[in-house]
A and B are shown apart, each in its own frame.
Chain A
């Protein structure tokens, strides 16, 4: 006769599930709450534990109106900025990984050090530089700055990646008469597509979510990205906040990075992990 006791293994598993479910509830709570509030008209907002009586879309309209322009700005800032960042990272990584030279560790060290400088340390001079070259409150200004701050990370990831590409590939190419520069564009980059894609996603998220530099280097409605616009929306009415529209705006603001994450989970994670191998 089989004894119908729960084995310790099953108990452990059940416990594991319990902990994970509780933890995930913690992580999901703010999202669910915000969504719940976003669907409620103003008079229902304060009744937090109740579900909306109907699916009110006014908050999404109001929220979208508040940050629509800034979302466009973010797209136009983040996409070129991310691409430029990858490009410059690849530029730096190529010699460091494949064309060894004396002192390349020193150079690598210097590039890495850039990763660890808090932006607030260089905020004021950065502002003055951008202003003096006439790029304050423009897309180009942010492209430059974001590219600069992405370069260390990009260099790190791509250098590690390029180092895994066998020397033989380059030797074969040069034997065939391909110059070192051509090799970079025609062979190395195409071969590194997956790493580059992961880098693009990494940059996309970092730049989309960046705040302090954007706050200081943009100001007008026409150019400020969504982090800044959302922050203003939070603090808009001297002290009072309208939670419904704010949650509507939040939904739009976080949608792009969440969508990118859900669709490209592997690359997302790979990018992060690759940074720190």
Chain B
């Protein structure tokens, strides 16, 4: 009986895991290997042969001006985008933790931007940012703040930040929802007890809320960090990396190098670097969550 069950378990396991695994192998493992392989060659995407060049692509990239800017921007995204979205999400979650009149409406509105495609978000913000007819500059002019009417997407010094604002607008909802769930998971007794003891909100936050939000924090930060690394859609539709390279990020640099310049080997090298960067950032979180899973077992 037991043996039969064990074999049945084995067969079922193999059966059920085979298709997902096959898909994984074909669409994840093989492509990653192929990207690394391609990064060691030079290829214009349409020639029948690929020329092996060793690490020349990497050497070229590390000395390249566009790479330095793209990497720098990706790091800016990691720091500024992640912290802004996280802080805003947490702040809003704290405000709406206790149900008040209109909570449902507020929550819906906060989450609304997250539901739409980034291309559409970009289109709307591009219209907002238009230097001559855009709402932002027109409103500033009406308020007499002409000095603040910048060329939001055309000024290389601020283009990246303008894009970030749009991305933050789009991403806060998600952080908010996750933090809300995290806050609701904190047993109310802790808060009650502390309040009875006369604790102030800052004390409450530091000693009870923040520590108990650790899992939610890990999730939100990891997720937002991944988004920051992956940034492509919004840069593509708002500025196409420009002006110059000022708003280019790694993912965009990779696409541009491969498809606009016909340098697929170099593009693959950038893709590999991107992969390593994300592994570096996400790796710790991955280990953390797997250990958590083990603990639950």
Contact = CB atoms under 8 A, between A and B. Distances in A.
Direct contact of A and B (CB under 8 A): yes
The 10 residue pairs across chains A and B that have the minimum distance between CB atoms = A122-B31, A125-B31, A148-B27, A209-B117, A125-B34, A276-B219, A92-B20, A95-B13, A30-B124, A254-B116
B106 A24 contact: yes
Given A49-B138, A129-B26, A180-B12, A234 B237 contact: yes
B154 to A, nearest CB: 12
A55 B29 CA distance: 53
B136 to A, nearest CB: 9
Interface of B: 5, 8-10, 12-13, 15-17, 19-21, 23-24, 26-28, 30-32, 34-35, 38, 92, 95-96, 100, 102, 106, 108-113, 115-128, 132-135, 138-139, 142, 169, 172-174, 177-178, 181, 219, 223, 226, 229-230, 232-233, 236-237, 251, 254-255, 258, 264, 267-268, 271-272, 274-275, 278-279, 282, 286, 289-290, 293-294, 296
B92 A23 contact: yes
Contacts of B19: 88, 91
Contacts of B110: 23-24, 27
Contacts of A241: 126
B117 A126 contact: no
A89 B124 CA distance: 35
B278 A118 contact: yes
A203 to B, nearest CB: 14
B16 A31 contact: no
A224 B110 CA distance: 30
19 contacts: A16-B95, A20-B102, A29-B128, A94-B12, A108-B293, A112-B286, A117-B278, A118-B229, A118-B230, A120-B232, A121-B274, A125-B32, A125-B34, A129-B26, A148-B27, A209-B116, A231-B237, A260-B115, A272-B178
A33 B17 contact: no
Contacts of A51: none
Contacts of B26: 129, 148
A126 B32 CA distance: 9
Contacts of A26: 169
Interface in A29-67: 29-31, 33-34, 37, 45-46, 48-49
Nearest to A247: B127
A71 to B, nearest CB: 12
Given A120-B230, A269-B181, 11 more contacts: A49-B135, A49-B142, A91-B20, A105-B290, A116-B226, A121-B32, A121-B271, A124-B38, A148-B26, A209-B116, A250-B120
Nearest to A106: B290
Given A181-B15, A247-B127, A27 B169 contact: yes
Nearest to A226: B117
A180 B271 CA distance: 42
A205 interface: yes
A148 B27 CA distance: 7
A contact residues, range:
35 or more
Given A116-B278, A124-B35, A151-B24, A95 B12 contact: yes
A181 B138 contact: no
Nearest to A269: B177
A101 B9 contact: yes
A227 interface: yes
A120 B27 contact: no
Contacts of B139: 49
Nearest to A26: B169
A114 B230 contact: no
B135 A48 contact: yes
Contacts of B178: 272-273, 276
A227 B95 CA distance: 34
Interface string A233-277: 010000001010011001001100110111001001100110010
Given A30-B124, A33-B128, A258-B112, A122 B28 contact: yes
B73 to A, nearest CB: 15
B290 A20 contact: no
B4 to A, nearest CB: 10
Contact of B8 (A116, A118, A180, A261): A180
Nearest to A180: B12
Given A20-B95, A149-B27, A124 B268 contact: yes
Given A48-B135, A148-B23, A112 B13 contact: no
